[in-house]
A and B are shown apart, each in its own frame.
Chain A
């Protein structure tokens, strides 16, 4: 039973909805779409110009800047303490890979303040790290592409026969480039290290159709919900710009196996490739909501709301149904904002909005 929680305050990170959008705006729109939720939503942003801060539609009650993950746990703790003092929080939903280690480290302390999260453990996070895909595949009984971890650029010249070109060169957190020879691979290696550091992964490239599954693990090996999607349109950065919910039992089974093998706690996105011969390869697991997660809510599974309830210690009934054929089509629009909002964010690091109406 989900009790109406009109007074709940939920904070969400990842508000930079550019043409390579962070997931925060999708998560917030999902929360706003939940009829039993009438509470407050607080945006936690990394830059005064993070676009979600200026969205009237998602109706942030407040926005706060938080320090970059590279600033360390201590800085984040102090900032969250200050935010919590201004606007007491009940739940935080972090949505970016790079901030997870810090939020995981802070989870016990935040709980003692009365702030709840539903995140994977450090071990779970480690196990799904891109560098350990092979091991994960073995444990979950899922086929994965061959890959090798590169620790210096010279490694690309020593890749054996099991990794023929073309290859995909990937960073630990983000970024992937298809390369066709060692020189190109070395260049991609350097570009990736400069941005995301070591390690870098070289993965065998397979041709096929890519599917993505947004799903939530209940932390006990079960699946709290899952919606697979096929991208219909890509942006020039290769990000999904339109997609459709699909009902392929193999995709749901892959997610279920992942949860059984890891007891995953929290949201994730599975990237799965279906080859021409009908094999399903697990390419990657992202330990957070994807930017398109609002599609799941539209198709009948409000997964951010499920995460909120799990964070609060409830045990929502698993979401099993959704409407295949539901589409998302992204749109860019220019929002009008005032220089005062920018000023407040740039100087005070916060933006408080008076609520209109009750």
Chain B
């Protein structure tokens, strides 16, 4: 029986004006010991560290939240899963099971999607669609969204050769206040290029213009951009009906909703700034109110929401490999996962929490990855409780773009698991090894 206090590493903090607030996120920080009921420790024991863990429950509930927010305002709205955000087969399966189409931007993504859904359930975007890819898409009945005049001509040639008259859409770019225009994709609205493309397409007599598409950007926190985008595309659709005899069947508003992450160049945390799905949907519905097509001819509205659907579902579990004291007094942790796995560390101040109960006074801490490169910083400067080697940390909201943009650089990529709604965990992608690397390599005969 002892009444002794528990030992903690001794700490000494000098007070500095402007930094004298011991209340930090740590005050409200709770360890994340389980993911959907499965202990983090058990996951690591079974699948190793570092480890990406996805919550099926979260994917499904975000998907339904967005679908519901849309359907109460826009009965003909549908989602198309943006493959580039996360194209693991299992993740795509969940999205398709929930009713999403597939939105792809390369032949590789197209091939991947064709294994999962009918061609008619695929939207094919992007500036690079070689002939072979166009042929495959047209044969399968996919909706091809044309990006530039050369592509228009190429698509006509392919369709003519196949003896098909496919329905296609035009990608439109436009200037919106406060948004850096993505003018490199599609046909510009304000300059009249979009209408030129309409005339050119109709003159070709091969393709049928059936849709309009735009994508205003990514991580767009201003719902007003969507109101204006929807209004401008609606006005264009009205004009096409009025003056060109074209009745569009679909309007695709692209993706770009912000997730709950916090950009480096953002003062307030994402949770306080990011609009809700309902707010985005409301703005879109207001913009689409400008549509004036005959009754019964209302177009289907597509959204290609990517990160906002899947970011929250993904966590990266990583292990503290070592702790260090930097010369400026900050504590540094060296983790077993770095920017090679967590590409989004370049964009976000990621939310990180210990995976086990913790004690001790929080200190200014920097989180480094395992790479022997100065860029390998997982989190720059945060107040974090003192952890020891072997402790685990969960990086939250990492479900979007990491499992596609990660790099095979210096070390192999970690495994990815899915936790089911009943608390079962299973692999979605195996951890890489040196064999993965070698499987692609050849040594020229003269060196063998």
Chain A interface residues (CB < 8 Å from chain B): 46-49, 65-75, 77-79, 98, 101-102, 105, 131-132, 134, 148-149, 151-152, 155, 172-173, 193, 196-199, 345-347, 349
Does the CB pair A67–B267 fall under 8 Å?
A: no
Flag whether B22 is at the interface (Cβ < 8 A): yes
Does the CB pair A75–B28 fall under 8 Å?
A: yes
Q: Which residues of chain A are within 8 angstroms of B267 by Cβ–Cβ distance?
A: 69-70, 98, 172-173, 196-197
Flag whether B263 is at the interface (Cβ < 8 A): yes
Please tell me which one of the listed residues A46, A151, A345 contacts residue B179 in the complex, with CB atoms under 8 A apart.
Answer: A151
Does the CB pair A72–B271 fall under 8 Å?
A: yes
Flag whether B410 is at the interface (Cβ < 8 A): no
Q: Which residues of chain B are within 8 angstroms of A105 by Cβ–Cβ distance?
A: 272
Chain B interface residues (CB < 8 Å from chain A): 15, 17-25, 27-28, 177-180, 222, 224, 263, 265-269, 271-273
Q: Which residues of chain B are within 8 angstroms of A73 by Cβ–Cβ distance?
A: 271-272
Please tell me which one of the listed residues A49, A101, A193 contacts residue B272 in the complex, with CB atoms under 8 A apart.
Answer: A101
Please tell me which one of the listed residues A70, A75, A101, A198 contacts residue B23 in the complex, with CB atoms under 8 A apart.
Answer: A75
Of all A-B residue pairs in the complex, the 5 with the closest CB atoms, nearest first, are: A149-B178, A48-B20, A75-B28, A67-B23, A197-B267
CA distance A74 to B19 in the complex (A): 20
Q: Which residues of chain A are within 8 angstroms of B25 by Cβ–Cβ distance?
A: 67, 71-72, 75
Please tell me which one of the listed residues B21, B27, B269, B271 contacts residue A48 in the complex, with CB atoms under 8 A apart.
Answer: B21
Q: Which residues of chain A are within 8 angstroms of B24 by Cβ–Cβ distance?
A: 67-68, 71, 75
Does the CB pair A101–B21 fall under 8 Å?
A: no
Residue of A at shortest CB range from B18? A47
CA distance A148 to B21 in the complex (A): 36
Query: Looking at A131, A134, A193, A198, which has the most chain B CB atoms within 10 Å of its CB?
Result: A198
Does the CB pair A79–B268 fall under 8 Å?
A: no
Complex A-B: 5 CB contacts under 8 Å: A71-B25, A74-B28, A75-B24, A197-B263, A198-B266
What 9 new A-B contacts, CB under 8 Å, besides A47-B20, A48-B20, A75-B23?
A47-B18, A65-B22, A68-B21, A69-B272, A72-B269, A75-B27, A75-B28, A77-B28, A155-B180
Does the CB pair A346–B22 fall under 8 Å?
A: yes
Q: Which residues of chain B are within 8 angstroms of A75 by Cβ–Cβ distance?
A: 23-25, 27-28
Q: Are A349 and B268 CB-contacts (below 8 A) given A131-B178, A151-B178, A155-B180?
A: no
Q: Are A101 and B268 CB-contacts (below 8 A) given A75-B25, A75-B28?
A: yes
Q: Which residues of chain B are within 8 angstroms of A198 by Cβ–Cβ distance?
A: 263, 265-266
Residue of B at shortest CB range from A135? B224
Q: How far is the CB of B196 from chain A (nearest CB, A)?
A: 23
Q: How far is the CB of B116 from chain A (nearest CB, A)?
A: 36
Residue of B at shortest CB range from A152? B180
CA distance A199 to B179 in the complex (A): 10
Does the CB pair A71–B15 fall under 8 Å?
A: no
Query: Looking at A65, A69, A134, A197, which has the most chain B CB atoms within 10 Å of its CB?
Result: A197
Q: Are A69 and B268 CB-contacts (below 8 A) given A74-B28, A75-B24?
A: yes
Does the CB pair B272–A72 fall under 8 Å?
A: yes
CA distance A132 to B224 in the complex (A): 10
CA distance A249 to B354 in the complex (A): 59
Q: How far is the CB of A313 from chain B (nearest CB, A)?
A: 26
Residue of A at shortest CB range from B264? A197
Q: How far is the CB of B322 from chain A (nearest CB, A)?
A: 27
CA distance A72 to B268 in the complex (A): 7
Q: Which residues of chain B are within 8 angstroms of A65 by Cβ–Cβ distance?
A: 21-23
CA distance A75 to B22 in the complex (A): 12
Does the CB pair B265–A197 fall under 8 Å?
A: yes
Does the CB pair A48–B15 fall under 8 Å?
A: yes
Q: Are A49 and B17 CB-contacts (below 8 A) given A73-B271, A79-B23, A198-B263?
A: yes
Q: Which residues of chain B are within 8 angstroms of A193 by Cβ–Cβ distance?
A: 265
Q: Which residues of chain B are within 8 angstroms of A131 by Cβ–Cβ distance?
A: 178, 222
Q: How far is the CB of A17 from chain B (nearest CB, A)?
A: 14
Does the CB pair A49–B263 fall under 8 Å?
A: no
CA distance A132 to B176 in the complex (A): 12
Q: How far is the CB of A262 from chain B (nearest CB, A)?
A: 16
Does the CB pair A67–B271 fall under 8 Å?
A: no
Does the CB pair A70–B268 fall under 8 Å?
A: yes
Does the CB pair A72–B222 fall under 8 Å?
A: no
Q: Which residues of chain A are within 8 angstroms of B273 by Cβ–Cβ distance?
A: 101
Residue of B at shortest CB range from A48? B20
Q: Which residues of chain A are within 8 angstroms of B179 by Cβ–Cβ distance?
A: 151
Residue of A at shortest CB range from B23? A67
Q: Which residues of chain A are within 8 angstroms of B180 by Cβ–Cβ distance?
A: 151-152, 155
Does the CB pair B265–A349 fall under 8 Å?
A: no
CA distance A105 to B273 in the complex (A): 11
Please tell me which one of the listed residues A67, A78, A199 contacts residue B178 in the complex, with CB atoms under 8 A apart.
Answer: A199
CA distance A148 to B269 in the complex (A): 24
Q: Which residues of chain A are within 8 angstroms of B177 by Cβ–Cβ distance?
A: 134, 148-149
Does the CB pair B21–A46 fall under 8 Å?
A: yes
CA distance A70 to B17 in the complex (A): 18
CA distance A46 to B23 in the complex (A): 9
Does the CB pair A67–B27 fall under 8 Å?
A: yes
CA distance A69 to B266 in the complex (A): 12
Does the CB pair B27–A78 fall under 8 Å?
A: yes
Please tell me which one of the listed residues B19, B23, B272 contacts residue A66 in the complex, with CB atoms under 8 A apart.
Answer: B23
Q: Which residues of chain A are within 8 angstroms of B15 by Cβ–Cβ distance?
A: 48, 346
Q: Which residues of chain A are within 8 angstroms of B20 by Cβ–Cβ distance?
A: 47-49, 345-346
Residue of A at shortest CB range from B29? A75
CA distance A47 to B21 in the complex (A): 5
CA distance A198 to B318 in the complex (A): 31
Residue of B at shortest CB range from A172? B267
Q: Which residues of chain A are within 8 angstroms of B265 by Cβ–Cβ distance?
A: 193, 197-198
CA distance A151 to B221 in the complex (A): 12
Q: Are A67 and B21 CB-contacts (below 8 A) given A149-B177, A155-B180?
A: yes
Q: Which residues of chain B are within 8 angstroms of A347 by Cβ–Cβ distance?
A: 22
Q: Which residues of chain A are within 8 angstroms of B23 by Cβ–Cβ distance?
A: 65-67, 71, 75, 79, 349
Q: Which residues of chain B are within 8 angstroms of A47 by Cβ–Cβ distance?
A: 17-21
Residue of A at shortest CB range from B270? A72
Q: How far is the CB of A241 from chain B (nearest CB, A)?
A: 23
CA distance A134 to B228 in the complex (A): 15
CA distance A346 to B14 in the complex (A): 11
CA distance A347 to B22 in the complex (A): 8
Q: Which residues of chain A are within 8 angstroms of B18 by Cβ–Cβ distance?
A: 47, 49
Does the CB pair B178–A70 fall under 8 Å?
A: no
